[in-house]
Amino acid sequence: MPPNGPIMKSLTELKIKIFADGADRAGMLQMYSQPHIRGFTTNPTLMRKAGIADYEVFARDILEAIPDRPISFEVFADDCVEMERQARRIATWGPNVYTKIPVTNTKGESTAALVRHLAQSGVKLNITALMPLVQVREISDALADGPPACISVFAGRIADTGVDPLPLMVQALEIIKPHSNIELIWASPREFLNIIQADAIGCHIITVTNDILQKASLLGKDLHEYSLDTVKMFHNDAAKSGFAL
């Protein structure tokens, strides 16, 4: 690697699939216009942030606008009976829909049995909020031999605890390797570098918010040039503030 930055110049050079993470309609459609965006994920927190009032109306509207790339919609019930009802309803919304199921309920009770039941019924699933490897093993077993499925390991939140997520993600890939129907998602990235890291280890998918994706224009930027840009920014902002000593 040259001293002034990476050789890679474009997101199209990456093998990893980039999924846009959000629930803002305008933002999702803007990302849909980008060929390097291969799919989409949402969750109730992102929907609340975007001011979504009617879950199904929003979902069906987005699916009409984006009919040909995978989109994940999450159940919001906290007991497995209601989770199953919601999951089956969500699964009917379109062939590109993946139903998101949390790895546990709010009591910490595993949803693995429900995941197995839904997978055996042919429901495409995205199991979310996984962190320790024991969860990856349990959910991989539940999804084995089912339809296409994803396991979302929240690498960004793992990093927030002071733990390097890279070794864990490498091990997660080894755990799911025997199951050709399962793809690993690097979820909740905190910086653009995480996309490069995830690609380097062979992770299948990374979910990225629009604010991080906007930094794609910096990919491969000369570091001398970037340093000078930063110096100019500091100087200009000081001048605009009218600072004097």
- The structural domains of the chain, with segments of one domain joined by +, span 12-219
159-163: average pLDDT: 98
131-136: average pLDDT: 98
* Report field, pTM of the whole predicted structure over 0.75: yes
User: Domain 12-219 adopts which CATH fold?
Assistant: TIM Barrel (3.20.20)
pLDDT at residue 15, as a whole number:
95
70 and 100 in contact (C-beta within 8 Å)?
no
Q: How far apart are CA 150 and CA 10, in angstroms?
A: 26
202-228: average pLDDT: 94
pLDDT at residue 9, as a whole number:
60
Q: Using pLDDT thresholds of 50, 70 and 90, give the confidence band for residue 3.
A: very low
Q: How far apart are CA 234 and CA 214, in angstroms?
A: 21
